[in-house]
Structure formats: C-alpha cells, structure tokens
Structure 1
C-alpha cells in the first residue's frame, strides 16, 4: 500500500505534459473545497440557531418540569416530594398553577395564561435576568404584584409605574353563565404588576402573567395540594439526564418528567429535521461538484498512459494500477476537503467570536450578528461525507479507463 501511495503522489504532483491538466486538477480541488466550506458553515449556523433559541427558552423554563400525563393538574399529597428534595442534585422546587384567564386594563381586554408561582420561581428559572422594567415582586404592602410579558403589557398598554391595577377574570368551576348577570360566573381580583419580562419569544412574551400562587388557587378554586406542574432547578455539575431518570423512578409512571429539550420537543425536532434537510441538499450539490473528478481523472490517466505502460512492463497488474489512480482521485478529494475545512473553521470561528456578519436594518433582532457554533462532530461528518463522495465519484471512471489503457498497452 505504501508503494501505491508513493506512485499516486508522484503522478499527482509530478510534472504534467499538458498545462490544461493542472488547471483541471486545480478546479476539482477548488470545487471540493467550496462545497466543504458551505457544508461546514451551514451546519454551524444551525448549531448557532439551536443554541440561541435554547438559551432564550432556558431563561424562563426550569431544568426539569413535572406535569400530569393525563388531565390538567395533579395532587402532591400522594407524591414523595421529600425524597426528591433530598437528592443531592436538586437545588429548588417550585409549585406552579397555570390556566387561562381574561385580563382587563381600562378599556382593553386580552386573554392570557395566568401562572401562579412562589418566590422560588426566580431560583428555578433565570427570570431576574430577563426583567426589563421594574422587579419580580409577588406581594407587598400594596397587595398582589407579579410580572407580565412585554408584548402582553403593550397590548394592555400597562406599565409598572401606572397606578391603575390589572383586573383578572377567571370562570368559576361548574358555574353556568347567566346572560343577565355574567359577572357572577367569574372570580375576579386586582393585581398590580411590579415587573415586565422579555424572553424574546412570542410564546412567553405575549401570553404569560406571573402572580402569587395563593391568589391563583383562590381564583381557579384549586386545593392547597393541587398543582399543574412542579419546576425543579438542579445544582451545577450534575448530569440532567441521570437526575431526570432518578426523579421519574421516584414518581412512577403517573407523571411525566421533562428536561428543557423535552419541554419544547416539537421545536428541537423541527430544528433537527431542518438541519438534516440542509445537509442532504448540500450533499447533493457536493455530488454534482465532484463530477469534475470524472473529467480530471480521465485527463490524468490519459496523461499517464506511458506510466501505465512502464508499470505493466515491470510487473504491475491491472488491479494495482487501478488502485494507484483510485488513491490519486481520493487524494484530490482529501486535499480539497482539508483546505475547505481549514478555511471553513477559520470563517466560523471569526463569526462566532467577533460577529463580523451582522443583521442589517434596525436593532430589533434577538442578536446583532448571525449565530454560529462550531461542533467537532460536524467537522468529522463533513470530512467523512466529502471524502466518501469523492472516492465513489472517482472509482467508476478510473476502473473503466484504466482497464482500457492497460489492455491497449
């Protein structure tokens, strides 16, 4: 194999009899390099988007969420909460009750999700980091407070400095609406939001208002032990997946325990599908680009007809000559992919750390520059993909043409 590699290197880098062959070889290498750069950069962009959206969700979502597999709520009386709290990995547990309600402020009305939490919610999430106005305060001397999403606050035209309170309308359980007196079918209460949060995701900013869980229990007529979910924050340095399995084992099959990815499973699945589709499209483009190897290998073999004759005269069989040119075609792909990977890695790292390519227009985007993230497995998959495509693209013309010239000699 060493002899085959040495001869292939000699044929590839040795002096050609025709200058056009050098140009064709260079074009093949450049084509493979450009395809490699495109593949690596696109995969890195998807990684960056994946990480960016995940970080935005992570500012509001807990590390682990416990919810009912059936129904809207469950009772904590039958759960071994003390055993979960005793786990070394668990830092905080926050009970949550959330349901739909009607919000009314002056003459504006908007339906939203009222989420009842306690003070530990700022520990199980990163809520304090996304408060853009005011503070997260559930109750003070003036009464019930809370926090409201930025878009929802705009829809209601409410700010934390305004004195007029926000009115919550919640339908009573098992109470039919009397058209003559519709107000009797609703529980109502005033709150004065003390903070406005901005997740930069419409699913949160336009829907959620956070208030004290005791108030929500009274409004929705829940028992003290009933919750819609439990939010858990884990300590740093522990494996989330292993802790999730421990908690699931403690709770049994009646409840579902979800990590942050599983809380938004549809989004992450969509991102994986989009990344796979982009990968397949670029692979198809690479296959077209590597067709240059067919012409390149044809010209290289034609240029080395005398070399084939010499190899045959010193005892080389057709199989050995075929392997020499197969290695030569693979070397062309390898040179192209190595050059492409080197340039692609440099471009991605420059964008990742310096943000050279920015979004145009106003500064209303979540980030100023296009997000990218370099992943080692993407480098490996790109190397494997391009070299494999290049090898198979060169194998057919090499086998056919070498056989012809070998028999002619």
Structure 2
C-alpha cells in the first residue's frame, strides 16, 4: 500500500478532525450518492418508456407508408411486394387501405380510423389482440376489431353489429351520401393512449371496396429493421417508386412521443450532472478547510522528506475517496432498485390506492424501467472524473504549504 494512500486514509478518519469539516465531507458523499442514484433510476425509466414505445406503439403503427395519389391504388401490387421485401432495410411490407369515418351504434356516433389489412398467420399486432379475438376476426370478412376505448365509449360488446359511415366526395369535391358498411365486432385492440380511442381494423377487400379504389390496396405499410431510420428509408423508397405516391413515416404521427422522451432524457442528464457537480464542490470546500487544519502535519511531513507530489497525491486521494464512496453507494442502490422499479411502484400504488399513469391518457398504465449498463458506466465515469477534478486545487494548495511558516 502506497504512503500517499495510507496518509489519505489517516487524514480522513482522524478523530481530531473538525466536526464542521466532517459534516461538509459527509454532505459531499451523500450528494454524489443521491445524484448517481437518481440519475440511473430516471434514465432507466426513460429507457423503459422508449422500449414500450417501440414494442407497443410501433408494433401496430407502421414504421412507414406509401400510398397512391389517386383512386387507382397501388399498381402491380404483387411485383412491388416481392421487390420491396427483398430490400435489406425492410422487415415486412403489407398492403393496406385506410378509411376515415364514423362508427354508429344505437344512435351514437364515434370518429374512427379504419385500416383494411391482409389476414396472415403472424400479425404484427399479436400482442395487442387476443388470440380468440384474432381468430374470430380472421374467419369473418364482415367483422371489425376496434380500440377498447371506442368500445367503452359506445358500449359495444363482442358480437354487436355496428355501422361504419364512410364519407364520399364527388369529382367537383362535394360530399355525397356516405357509404355504409355493416360490421360485426370480433374483438378489441389494446395499444394504449389515444390509439385505443380511434383505431379499427377490418379486412382489406372490404376496406378497398368501400373506399372506391380500383386496385387491391390504397398503399403499402412498412415494418423496418431499424424503426429509427424510417425518415431516411421511406424517402429513399418513395423517391424511387415507379408510381406517383405520397410518403409518410411514424415520426410524423407518433414522433412527438419519442421526441418528448429524448428531451426529458437530456434534461435529466443536465440537471443531475449539475447535482453531482455541486456535491463535488463540497469536496473542494472540505479539502480546503482540511488543508488549513492540517498545515502543521503537512509541515512535519515535509521536514521529514515528503515531496510536493506525495502531498498532492495524499489530498487528491482523500477527496476522491468521498466521490468513490458516494458513487458506489448510489450506483449500488440503483442497481438493486432499477430492475424492480415497476413492481415496487405497483406495490406502492396498491397500498395507497392510487394510479400514477392512466391508460386512457398515456400509451401505458404502469411505470416502465430498463437498466442499461452504458448509463451506469457514464454515471460512474462522470462522478469519478468530477470528484478528481474537485481535488486538484486543494491538493495544489496543500503542496504549497511552507514548513517554516506553519511551524512558527
């Protein structure tokens, strides 16, 4: 064990140390621990929200879309599906037709966005629709799946018959009598947030017939290998598509959720980095006072042959110990709590009889958490670096102590 390390431990634990200095030193350790703990916890929550956004919203909302500019729909559908599915950036391409209209049930109307899809054995929204509901829907071409909030607002049950009123425009852009589709409720979709209040699914052939397009589908929906590349990928595909089409991607409709998560993450980083930095300034205060108190001891060490380098290293280690201890406590607690945060919050909600997140407002009804080791690594490095930087000035002052003046 090096001499500077032994001296740092002795200076830090000496009983003769001023109690006020001890309090300042303890407050810096507690501040660093609290900052590291809260930073990792909040970043884990942000990671959880981002995970749920990807798994829930982007599981049912297409990553990208292209759709025809007129009522011809997508031309040469099978050939285009084969070509686009061969693109390495594309995970899956599906034809669709979208209708916007009103659902009518017992004299009550509710706005809804109905999307016609092809029925396959591996639906992209399997987690949002129960297997029984999906089987009923796939067997009946005149059936519909609706968001649970729509069913709640209209008082619908599985098996009820509803009418969908689809507006029709004439060539001179005037509205005529709406097209009416009679549908049977086959099941419910549970995505979360506003989507449950506006989303419905029906068979592609039914939707295409009601929309008046001459082709099989109005457009194509894309599931990409990397959802966060949707903006660039969809423009690349759209600009090279052999037919005049409009382009869209999920960042236009749901991107505000992702942007909000990233904004909060940035604010959390800045705010809690400042909390850790302020706690590290307490290290400066405690070390400066400690240097003044221990000037006689420093002078004696120098008369015994201690170099300026040894004195600097001693006080840098003494201050860094506060940072390392605080960081270790804060990170250790965060590693215990962050992976179990959802269960802990749920238990508190059950005990207090409250609900933090409402599924009617947010796209999830629980507090998510996902611990990522890169967040832990960044927090550890930041705390240690700031702690070491905070020791430089006091250690420099300690090395400049003059034995002749201190022992006078």
TM-score range, shorter chain: 0.7 to 0.9
**Which range moves more in the overlay, 362-371 or 324-333?**
362-371
Q: Paired residue for 1:253, among 234, 239, 242?
A: 239
Cα distance in 2 between the residues matched to 1:314 and 1:73: 95
Query: What is the Cα deviation at residue 42 of structure 1?
Result: 1.9
**SS of equivalent to 2:119:** coil
The alignment of Structure 1 onto Structure 2 pairs a total of residues equal to 393
Kindly report the root-mean-square deviation, in angstroms, between the aligned alpha carbons of the 2 structures.
4.0
What's the secondary structure of 2:97's corresponding residue?
A: strand
| Residue 271 of structure 1, CA deviation | 0.2
Q: Deviations over 1:256-300 (max 9, x none)?
A: 999978974332121011011022112222233333223321332
- Deviation for aligned residue 1:349: 3.2
- State the TM-score, normalized to the length of structure 1: 0.79
Structure 2: runs of 5 or more not aligned: none
1:199-222 per-residue CA deviation (whole Å, 9 max, x = no partner) reads 1221x2111121121222222222
Q: Hey, what does 1:160 align to over in structure 2?
A: 158
Give the 3 Å change call, closer, same or farther, for CA 244–74 of structure 1 in structure 2. farther
CA contact (8 A) 1:330 1:390 kept: yes
How far, CA to CA, are the matches of 2:88 and 2:281 in structure 1?
Answer: 58
- Aligned residue number for residue 207 of structure 1: 198
- Look up the match of 1:117: 117
Check whether the contact 1:358–1:369 (CA below 8 A) recurs between aligned residues.
no
Partner SS state of residue 161, structure 1: coil
Candidates 189, 193, 196, aligned match of 2:188: 196
Query: Distance in 2 between the 1:373 and 1:129 partners?
Result: 21
Match of 1:279 among 247, 265, 269: 269
Measured in 1, the distance between the counterparts of 2:115 and 2:228 equals 28
CA contact (8 A) 1:145 1:194 kept: yes
For the residues of structure 2 that align with 1:111 and 1:352, how far apart are their CA atoms?
34
Find the aligned partners of 1:127 and 1:241 in 2 and give their Cα distance.
18
| Shift in Å, 1:59 | 4.1
Q: What secondary structure is seen at the aligned counterpart in 1 of 2:122?
A: helix
CA distance in 2, matches of 1:242, 1:206: 25
Contact 1:17 1:303 in 2 (8 A): no
1:25 aligns to 2:15 (yes or no)? no
Alpha carbons of structure 1 residues 100 and 388: separation in structure 2 relative to 1, 3 Å = same
When the two structures are superposed, what TM-score results if normalisation uses the length of structure 2? 0.79
* Structure 1 residue 75 displacement after superposition: 2.8
C-alpha distance 173-392 of structure 1, shift in aligned 2 (>3 A)? farther
Distance in 2, matches of 1:69 and 1:314, equals: 88
Question: Equivalents in 2 of 1:287, 1:250: separation in Å?
Answer: 45
* 2:378 paired with 1:378: no
Deviation at 1:383, TM superposition (A): 1.0
